[in-house]
């Protein structure tokens, strides 16, 4: 892996960084540029009421050892209004799976809001 001069420890990332197509990235600066490009990094983002469903390309295999050789390089997280993560989220190996997962979490966020509204309604009885 090509790393910036003075950062020899970054060579340990060799084989861990991947582009959105799942192809290895062999230049750390290329990885950093992709990370800083919102159009590249953000796969999908939807506000559902006061929740936010966000799916991003991470580019670093965050499932090493658990993916049968396929890198987990995408992640969906549902965020609360204060920006903290809910306990809902998932990681994916492909952009197609990430997009499908995102759509499923948007539906789940709508369900969370409906459940919250029902619970709030019961408290007022």
Number of other residues whose CB lies within 10 A of the CB of residue 120: 9
Q: Are 97 and 72 in contact (CB under 8 A)?
A: no
Structure tokens that stand for 89 in this block: 């989220």
Query: Which of 120, 56, 117, 47 minimizes the C-alpha distance to 89?
Result: 56
Domain ranges of the chain: 41-123
Structure tokens that stand for 64 in this block: 């090493």
Per-chain mean pLDDT for the chain: 85
Q: Are 97 and 74 in contact (CB under 8 A)?
A: yes
64 or 90, higher pLDDT: 90
Distance CA(91)–CA(48), nearest Å, equals 20
pLDDT digits (tens, 9 = 90+) for 79-115: 999 999 988 889 999 999 999 999 999 999 999 889 8
pLDDT confidence band for 69 (50 / 70 / 90): confident
Distance CA(112)–CA(108), nearest Å, equals 6
């Amino acid at each position: 892996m090509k790393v910036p001069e003075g950062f020899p420890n970054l060579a340990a990332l060799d084989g861990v960084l991947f582009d959105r197509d799942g192809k290895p990235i062999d230049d750390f600066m290329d990885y950093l540029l992709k990370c800083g490009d919102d159009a590249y990094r953000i796969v999908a983002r939807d506000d559902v009421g006061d929740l936010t469903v966000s799916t991003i390309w991470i580019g670093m295999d965050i499932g090493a050892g658990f993916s049968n050789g396929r890198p987990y390089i995408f992640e969906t997280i549902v965020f609360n209004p204060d920006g903290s993560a809910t306990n809902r989220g998932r990681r994916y190996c492909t952009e197609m799976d990430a997009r499908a997962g995102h759509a499923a979490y948007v539906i789940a966020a709508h369900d969370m809001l409906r459940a919250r509204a029902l619970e709030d309604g019961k408290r007022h009885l």
